[in-house]
Amino acid sequence: NAGVTQTPKFQVLKTGQSMTLQCAQDMNHNSMYWYRQDPGMGLRLIYYSASEGTTDKGEVPNGYNVSRLNKREFSLRLESAAPSQTSVYFCASKKGQGNTEAFFGQGTRLTVV
């Protein structure tokens, strides 16, 4: 019963470095999401994938790219990290279209110095 698994759990980057955050779910869900969480801001949607092969921008997509590698995996890439991208990143998945609940991973705490 792994649910949604994110790697790594912690990461420190220097400004300008690139990295990819990984997310995998084993619930056979169609939709996957990437959020960032900043103090006092709640969770803001970066990108989502409604189904395998599709991706769409959320509220705050600038500076990020995503890949829906297959039904299980949805990765988030920072091509050139900036201090403003210091945040906690959460991946989530849900069954698909319609009114169903989303399940979250444990988060990746990223610091850009």
Partner 1 sequence: GQQLNQSPQSMFIQEGEDVSMNCTSSSIFNTWLWYKQDPGEGPVLLIALYKAGELTSNGRLTAQFGITRKDSFLNISASIPSDVGIYFCAGQRTGNQFYFGTGTSLTVIP
The span of 20-28, 29-37, 64-72, 77-85 binding partner 1 (CB under 8 A) equals 29-37
Q: Which two tokens stand for residue 57?
A: 């921008």
SS3 96: coil
34, 36, 46, 48: residue in contact with partner 1 (rule CB under 8 A): 48
- Residue 50 within binding range of partner 1, rule CB under 8 A: yes
Residue 10 CB, shortest distance to partner 1, in Å, is 10
Residue 84: phi, psi to the nearest 5? -65, -10
In residues, how long is the chain?
113
DSSP state of 84: G
Q: Which residues bind partner 1 (CB under 8 A)?
A: 4, 31, 33, 35, 40-45, 48, 50, 58-59, 90, 92, 94, 97, 99, 101-107
